[in-house]
Amino acid sequence: MRSVLPSASAPARPGRAPLKPLDLALAELLALAAPLTPVESISTFDADGRVLAHDLRSGLDVPAHDNSAMDGYAVRCADWLDAATLLQVNQRIPAGSSGHLLAPASAARIFTGAPIPPGADAVVMQEDCDAVEGCVRLRAQPRPGQWIRQRGEDVAAGAVVLQRGTRLSPASLGLAASIGFDKLQVAPRVRVALFSTGDELVMPGDVAPADMKPGAIYNSNRFFLKALLQRLGCIVTDLGIVPDRLDATIAALKGASEQHDLILTSGGMSVGEEDHIKPAVQALGQLNLWHLAMKPGKPFAYGKIGAAHFLGLPGNPVSSFVTFLLLVRPFILKLQGARRVAPESIALPAHFDCAKPDKRREFLRARFDASGGLELFDNQSSGVLTSAVWGDGLVDHPAGQTIAHGDTVRFIPFSALLS
């Protein structure tokens, strides 16, 4: 089994600048994304998905005391002689209370989470005990430390439990609460203005399928881009479809730049007479138009209009979807101050053949099969959005290489990209 690793570059066409490798484009893009300010203080209840702005340091041990991991009996191991040994039960310790010194040849009835009484060195769960008229018989010899959760075994006082730049999850919110934080300092939400360009675009509901004019298409990009932005916690202003006119495009960009951190568009990134994004951004600020060595998603643009960043995506739906996941998502996470921004891939066997290598690095829509490998969607066209719904993620296919059944490929799950 051979391994197919991502390539770093793609050849240039004669007379044209070389295509920009994806890794280089991402590095340049992230260098332009300074984390936003000011920091916000919000309830821990409301912080899911937000990015922590400061290290979170614990002021206490968790647990705060040795406590029982089971309902049962706290005992001294040295008191057990044999299976006939009876220990007098002389105290009862529920969670939230504390016991007293455990006398020799005695036991304490104890419940999960309750502090271990002084002198006890083990807990025997109730299923392994027999209660006998105020005493308890242990069926097996206890071991020191069994079923005892040690003080500070989860968190030690003074330790940093969550680092600055952590994207908060439900588990991390619980961890923050466990050390007493009811509020958290987080990065601000990114304010994003979203619009599409193209007179061919029609909104679902405005025109019935039977009444669509030749060349018209429903605007699918607007829906998935807004959803992707909201999953990242962005505050999204949907500016709809901007007409294919230079003055309308300039007006939309100018207005959006005044109240947003980022302007995101799809379509209009070519250089034809009806593509006005490039001249409009250049009229208001600066623009770098990149031709990326990736498929789908060759055209991509970064610019700046005032203080607002501008990102321009290709119009084909799969191209727009993939470039968002691989470039826009990391950019937004960097604006939020996140430490981990780039997607991580896993190595899996290809249960398909790809005998026609492309000159660009491809991101193929694939899904898990029943035998633990990957199967490929039949049609990898940049206009076939079905592939993104059918698939479980993207195979990172190096430029100029073939894939044979059984080869190891790099796979980026959608589960790591859509959260």
What are the residues whose beta carbons fall under 8 Å from the beta carbon of 78, sequence distance 6 or more?
A: none
Tokens at 35, concatenated: 């984390």
Q: Is the peptide bond before 6 cis (omega within 30 degrees of 0)?
A: no
Q: 67-149: what fold? A: Molybdopterin biosynthesis moeA protein; domain 3 (2.170.190)
- What is the per-residue pLDDT across 204-258, written as a single tens digit (0 to 9) for each? 888 899 999 998 888 899 999 999 999 999 999 999 888 888 999 999 999 999 9
Residue 61's nearest CA partner among 155, 180, 176 is 155
Q: 22-37+189-335: what fold? A: Molybdenum Cofactor Biosythetic Enzyme; Chain A (3.40.980)
Q: Is domain 40-61+153-186 classified as CATH 3.40.50.150?
A: no
Residue 291's nearest CA partner among 100, 16, 3 is 16
What are the residues whose beta carbons fall under 8 Å from the beta carbon of 390, sequence distance 6 or more?
A: 365, 367, 377
For residue 16, pLDDT over 90 is answered with no
Can you name the residues that pair with 148 across neighbouring β-strands? 68
Contact assessment for residue 254 and residue 302, using Cβ atoms and an 8 Å cutoff: no
Q: Say what the pTM is.
A: 0.87
**Cα-flanking dihedrals φ and ψ of residue 171, to 5°?**
-65, -40
How many Cβ atoms from other residues are within 10 Å of residue 261's Cβ?
20
What is the residue extent of each domain of the chain?
A: 22-37+189-335, 40-61+153-186, 67-149, 346-416
Contact assessment for residue 298 and residue 314, using Cβ atoms and an 8 Å cutoff: yes
Contact assessment for residue 161 and residue 179, using Cβ atoms and an 8 Å cutoff: yes
Calpha distance 361→378 (Å, rounded): 18
Q: Tell me if domain 22-37+189-335 and domain 346-416 are identical in fold.
A: no
- What is the per-residue pLDDT across 96-134, written as a single tens digit (0 to 9) for each? 999 999 999 999 999 999 999 999 999 999 999 999 999
Q: What CATH code would you report for 346-416?
A: 2.40.340.10
* 5 band by pLDDT with thresholds 50, 70 and 90: very low
What does DSSP say about strands 361-368 and 129-132: parallel, antiparallel, or unpaired?
A: unpaired
